[in-house]
Structure 1
Amino acid sequence: MDKILNSKRIIIIVIVTIALILLMGMSIILGYTDTSMMLTYEAFTSFDGSNEHLIIQTVRLPRALIAAGVGTSLAIAGVYMQTLTKNPLASPGIFGVNAGASFAVVCAISFFNVSSLSAFTWVSFLGAAVAALAVYVVGGVGRQGLTPMKITLAGAAITALFSSFTQGILVTNEAALDEVLFWLSGSIQGRKLEMLVTVFPYLLIGWLLALVMTPMMNVLAMGDDVAKGLGLKVGLLKLTVGLIVILLAGGSVAVAGPIGFIGIVIPHIARSLIGTDHRWLVPLAGLLGGALLLAADIGARYIVMPQEVPVGVMTAFIGTPFFIYIARKGFNKG
């Protein structure tokens, strides 16, 4: 029985991996400038400096890689947040992590004229960490401690707080508004490969930690008491999960801005396909997250062509109905 189940899981992961690769290829080929598979191949094998070759190498390739990396990171962060909080609505966007990172970046631009990519990365991590800590502290107040309802309300409150601060700064600083408005809506348009290279080491550390932690997350999913009884250091484990979320969500916001709903939608889809075993769930969620963000980005190029819709708008359009469904289903059970 286990062999049959594992074979099914392997087949699903292989299919999603192929879909991810195909979507990356489509992301490189498709767009306002007309290109083809042959032209794309020639751009990498016999570059001639033409406009089409330049667009493929310097615009579309970085964009495809960034979409795959950010989608993967947000989906894995969503899996870990949902397991840690036992809340089906947990994600970096809903729990204020994205809003905190965004607020920190806007402050850095507005008050300190920060323009360095590495500085953006560290500022984004700091904002994500402060927001995550604030949600944990606010949600844990009271006798019952952290409950799914309390942490959701705390996340909504912290998200609203940081979003209000961000909007307040932008209202009084038009120069900063012009610079970050498109970024705040969540976008990978115009992002350069250097931006991904800057944050990639941190994303890679987050991915590797997430994969290593999967057996322990299976135990933690059974409850804190069970995990303690089996010898796990629950406090250290939760701290490590927090570090993973900060690395993945903070790095993603530094590159692409606060893209929502990937961290909510993908974990539920992955569980429905492959089950709750994190050894399989985390890799599949990462692949699905990258695929979904690539598909959303491709769609964003065509809705109002020749203009583009920010990919964050596309993910919100896709994810909002699913979010409502999960909210009704999850809290009706509670």
Structure 2
Amino acid sequence: MTQTVSAVGSGVAIVRRPNRVRMLWLLVVVGVLVILVLISLVIGSRDVSLDDIVAALGGSTDNIGQAAVAKRVPRTVLAVAVGAALGLAGGVMQGVTRNPLADPSILGVNMGASLAVVVGIAWFGLATATGYIWTAIVGAAVAAVFVYTIGSLGRGGATPLKLALAGAATSAALASFITAVALPRADISATIRSWQVGGVGGASFGTIGQMLPFFVVGCAICLFSARSLNSLALGDELAASLGERVAIVRGVAAFGAVVLCGAATAVAGPIGFVGLVVPHLCRLLVGVDQRWLLPFSALAGAGLLVVADVIGRIVARPGELDVGIITALIGAPFFIAIVRRQKVRAL
């Protein structure tokens, strides 16, 4: 069994693994995710037994343990869905921009979605989950286009550093706008502040059901774009010579990522760094082939958010820390490490 090695823009050699090795890693990641889901059902302010889990999954809520499991099931499902959406969206954004620093939170996409939702709540009486999602998608799309346009100005086009700086500046400005909109509204400011942290507590199957169509559409678009993203990695000119319509490929893939980011932000708040950390770690396992990287990013993103949710319940018992805080603690050092690597220029 042979392995080939190629250099990427980060200056780190990435092993292109045979498909048998990739399939083995896929089984491992799926197995780990299943274990994490079971741990999420067991651990909380009150630990429960396996019997309680089985009974609760069967619809029984006869005791406190079973009732606790019944509450943890939807939040675990939501953590899996949101984590998968953010991990997949991050992988697509890095592929579309060929930027190792691309991430929905760093590029201002999550904050654009947040501002749109807050404005909708405060000024237009937005109240339904579906309305949140549509509004968040529009806000995410506007923010993404704005940041990419600003980052593309000047010599060199949209470099990783320029996009990161444009995204950081845009995120800061949008966060200020959110505060300005929410502060005069005492009736909604507490709810908005809590939502802005990012969390999966209080999840319900009704909310998940309203998010599901957007999640399916966004995932389908992103995964079907994988082969074309491989062509884009060779450079625009070579991709065009291979028959790819570069602008259309970028637009369609970016639209899929925006749909995922908007839906995830609408139901869970602006959770950061999942889309940054996960694709980088997955490249170490399966290489740079987007046909493998994107599904792995979705699975690993789901696992990371479930882990963050479990950690948040453990460290603050009997209360909890929202997953947005945990992912920021994990992701911020990772982001600094990437920025400090002077050889990082593009993927």
TM-score w.r.t. the length of structure 2 is: 0.92
Tell me which residue corresponds to 2:75.
63
Tell me which residue corresponds to 2:229.
217
36-45 vs 223-232, which deviates more?
36-45
Distance, in Å, in 2 between the alignment partners of 1:266 and 1:289 is: 6
Tell me which residue corresponds to 2:67.
54
Correspondence 1:48-197 to 2 at 5 A: 48-57=61-70, 59-197=71-209
Contact 2:273 2:331 in 1 (8 A): yes
Contact 1:106 1:176 in 2 (8 A): no
Tell me which residue corresponds to 2:13.
none
Q: In structure 1, give the amino acid aligned to 2:47.
A: D
Tell me which residue corresponds to 1:326.
338
Distance, in Å, in 2 between the alignment partners of 1:2 and 1:37 is: 43
Tell me which residue corresponds to 1:290.
302
Q: Which of 227, 232, 235 matches 2:239? A: 227
Instruction: Say if 1:333 and 1:133 are closer, same or farther in 2 by CA, change over 3 A.
Output: closer
Q: Secondary structure, in 3 states, of the residue corresponding to 1:144? A: coil
Structure 2: gaps spanning 5 or more residues: 4-16
Distance, in Å, in 2 between the alignment partners of 1:41 and 1:306 is: 24
Shift of 1:46: 5.8
Q: CA RMSD in A?
A: 1.6
Contact 1:185 1:259 in 2 (8 A): yes
TM-score w.r.t. the length of structure 1 is: 0.95
Distance, in Å, in 2 between the alignment partners of 1:332 and 1:219 is: 23
Q: Kindly indicate whether residue 35 of structure 2 is the aligned counterpart of residue 43 of structure 1.
A: no
Structure 1: gaps spanning 5 or more residues: none
CA shift digits 1:278-314 (9 cap, x unpaired):
1111111111110011011001001111111111000
Distance, in Å, in 1 between the alignment partners of 2:206 and 2:61 is: 22
Instruction: Say if 1:226 and 1:61 are closer, same or farther in 2 by CA, change over 3 A.
Output: same
> Where is the helix percentage greater, Structure 1 or Structure 2?
1
Q: Which of 34, 42, 46 matches 1:21? A: 34
Tell me which residue corresponds to 1:33.
46
Contact 2:338 2:344 in 1 (8 A): no
Q: Secondary structure, in 3 states, of the residue corresponding to 1:87? A: coil
Contact 2:218 2:257 in 1 (8 A): yes
Distance, in Å, in 1 between the alignment partners of 2:247 and 2:276 is: 25
Contact 2:33 2:303 in 1 (8 A): yes
Q: Kindly indicate whether residue 27 of structure 2 is the aligned counterpart of residue 8 of structure 1.
A: no
Q: Secondary structure, in 3 states, of the residue corresponding to 1:301? A: helix
Contact 1:104 1:124 in 2 (8 A): yes
Q: In structure 2, give the amino acid aligned to 1:297.
A: D
